[in-house]
Amino acid sequence: MATHVTTVFTLTGPQDRLRQIAEERAYRTCALDQMTWEDDTTLVMTLESGIGTSFLDHGHGLSDEYPDVSIRGMEYFDCFDDPGFVKWQGGQLVYEADLITVFGILFPTDATKDWPGCSASFWHRSPPLSVAIAENCPHFDLMPLRQQAGPAPEWVETTDGFATLFLRLPSTPDAEDGVGVIFYPEIGRSTLLAGIDRFGGVARFRRQSYGQISAACPELRAVLRDRWKASEKKRRKARQERKVLRRKMKKEVSVRRRHAAILRDRLTRMIDEYPAARLSELLPFPQSANGLLGDGDCPLSD
């Protein structure tokens, strides 16, 4: 099954110049019905199945041909997976950045309110990526979540049924002091995200224990303790299941090693007994390693 690719080029400049470019690029970059006007000075060209050539090379060509307009390029897979961002200004490359998401989760909101729901995406921050996100993904803005009630002052919360995110938003729109806690109470794991900005950029993230999280975020201590106790039975069951899987895996590895040792001894005896013979003519069993070492009885264990 082919992977769906979306490529977008956004051109900004005088309207007359953009109309000329639209006529020239029709059916070269994309069809006319794939060109839209975001406003009087912004032309957007979208290809739902990719550009057909290198996204970056095509953008370089546009920039060389039209250095008098600003060009932003964006390409992503499926539903905005691993997007790449590029910008050219005056025929020169301004930035090139790829976004790799650290963690993402939805914040369901009340449909009666006058602001939409928010999909919180967190990514490892870098200077070019921060600029790219602010220009290309303004919907990443987390600040509207201040309108939500949370488990503690200045904190908001959401869950997908497995992981729970506790988020303390940046103190100001320009600050990078937000904190996030990804809590998995049923498996006893948690991750601390530090240095979060308004668009989800993260300075650092690391796995920490429940006790370390409680010490770092004392205002969440009571909430985390209640969630931890409420999931104690599920956590115990998950530990038991992991122990069973480890024992099963250890047994399978032991069987495979024993079969491999039998094979190695048999081949060594054959080579010692017939040093000049072709080994393939002496093998009384299938030569496929998968057939030999896979599930089932070993053909050499007689």
In a domain, 202, yes or no: yes
Asked if residue 290 has pLDDT above 50, the reply is no
Instruction: State which of 230, 246, 270 marks the end of a domain.
Output: 230
pLDDT at 37: 94
Residues 175, 154: Cα–Cα separation, whole Å: 15
Whether residue 154 sits in one domain with residue 198 = yes
In a domain, 269, yes or no: yes
Band of pLDDT at residue 118, cut at 50, 70 and 90: low
Q: Which residues contact 91 (CB under 8 A, 6 or more apart)?
A: 63, 64, 67
CATH code of residue 21: 3.30.70.1270
Whether residue 207 sits in one domain with residue 254 = no
In a domain, 205, yes or no: yes
Whether residue 260 sits in one domain with residue 217 = no
User: Strand 118-124 to strand 42-47: parallel, antiparallel, or no bridges (unpaired)?
Assistant: unpaired
Asked if residue 277 has pLDDT above 90, the reply is no
Whether residue 237 sits in one domain with residue 211 = no
The residue among 224 and 277 whose pLDDT is bigger is 224
Band of pLDDT at residue 294, cut at 50, 70 and 90: very low
| Residue 215 DSSP SS3 | helix
In a domain, 184, yes or no: yes
Whether residue 81 sits in one domain with residue 32 = yes
In a domain, 300, yes or no: no
Q: Give, to the nearest 10 degrees, the angle between helix 221-230 and helix 232-273.
A: 70
Whether residue 281 sits in one domain with residue 224 = no
Instruction: State which of 209, 230, 251 marks the end of a domain.
Output: 230
Q: What is the mean pLDDT of residues 80-87?
A: 83
Q: Which domain holds residue 188?
A: 99-230
Whether residue 224 sits in one domain with residue 104 = yes
Band of pLDDT at residue 111, cut at 50, 70 and 90: low
Residues 254, 248: Cα–Cα separation, whole Å: 10
Whether residue 192 sits in one domain with residue 83 = no
Whether residue 183 sits in one domain with residue 86 = no
Whether residue 190 sits in one domain with residue 111 = yes
User: What strands lie across the sheet with 35-39, from one edge to the other?
Assistant: 35-39, 42-47, 5-12, 70-77, 81-89, 92-98
In a domain, 302, yes or no: no
Instruction: State which of 96, 111, 136 marks the end of a domain.
Output: 96
Whether residue 70 sits in one domain with residue 182 = no
In a domain, 301, yes or no: no
* Strands in 99-172 per DSSP E: 101-107, 118-124, 155-159, 164-168
- Total of domains in the chain: 3
pLDDT at 276: 53
